[in-house]
Amino acid sequence: LRQRVIRAEKMEVVGHLAASISHEIRNPLTVSRGFMQLLAQSKDTSEKNKQYIQIAIEELDRAEAIITDYLTFAKPAPEREEKLNVKTEIERVIDVLRPLANMSSVEIQTTLVPFAIKGERQKFQQCLLNVMKNAIEAMPNGGTLYVNVSIEKDYVSIHIADTGVGMTKEQIERLGEPYFTTKGAKGTGLGMMVVYRIIETMNGIISVHSEVDKGTDVYIYLPSFYADQMDKAIIQNKRALII
């Protein structure tokens, strides 16, 4: 019993310390970046060394961007599939993105309904974050991010739209290709790859429509939790009939 108690306590410590993996990795990156900047500003630093420091800072920023696209909501414990409320999850992601939206004068308009789907919470949040972050980044001079939830047959539909720079047909076709980015050093080209992979594991569908200088519409369809339950009931009944 004693051993078990100690183990339980240890688990709790892990839970508190590493509330989020991204937070734990970001902290040392931020500290290192801060000291690099101090060095870069110091009059004792030669021009040559300033160039090296600049490269180091850019690489730290790249690591930070990759963590954002992969691990924003990641926690040390393994994930389980559970019943998720799309409204709650979308609101959580919007909370995280609001500072970024404010920086670019992007207004956020939502029509959210608390439909249920099945999935791993962190992965679903990461998927929403990557799509909404792209939408905000497509509006550097302001605009509106729309997020609407509705139900279509057995699918919960999440419509994410922006009034940003839009994409050409060629760009839409390359979406999800690893390292495809039009954002230069600031982009990872990994965000949409992660999105496509997560939607696939959730048995969902994604469809993207875009027009250059008008904006982009992303539709994500995920099987409704209840449709899924109903399918199972039907399959089980059929089996019963066959037997």
Q: Which of 105, 150, 182, 201 is close enough to bind ligand ADP by CB under 6 A?
A: 182
* Residues facing residue 150 across a β-bridge: 157
CB of 162 to Mg ion, least distance (A): 12
Rounded to 10 degrees, the C-alpha dihedral 154/158/159/165 comes to -140
| 167 binding ligand ADP? (CB under 6 A) | yes
Q: Are 204 and 221 in contact (CB under 8 A)?
A: yes
Angle, helices 121-137/86-103, rounded to nearest 10 degrees? 30
Binding of ligand ADP at residue 196 (CB under 6 A)? no
Q: Please select the residue that binds Mg ion; options are 119, 143, 176, 191, rule is CB under 5 A.
A: 191
**3-class secondary-structure state, position 206:** strand
Q: Is 164 in the site for Mg ion (CB under 5 A)?
A: no
Alpha helices by DSSP H, listed for the chain, are 2-17, 21-41, 47-71, 86-103, 121-137, 169-174, 191-201, 225-242
Choice from 22, 144, 180, 205 touching ligand ADP (CB under 6 A): 180
The CA radius of gyration of the chain, in Å to the nearest whole number, is 22
Among 100-108, 172-180, 184-192, 213-221, which window interacts with Mg ion (CB under 5 A)? 184-192
Q: Does 192 bind ligand ADP (CB under 6 A)?
A: yes
Among 72, 134, 163, 224, binds Mg ion (CB under 5 A): 134
Q: Which CB, 53 or 208, lies closer to ligand ADP?
A: 208
- In angstroms, the CA 111 to CA 100 distance is 20
Residues 93-122 that bind Mg ion (CB under 5 A): none
**Interacting residues with ligand ADP (CB under 6 A):** 130, 134-135, 138, 162, 164-167, 171, 175, 180-183, 187-192, 216
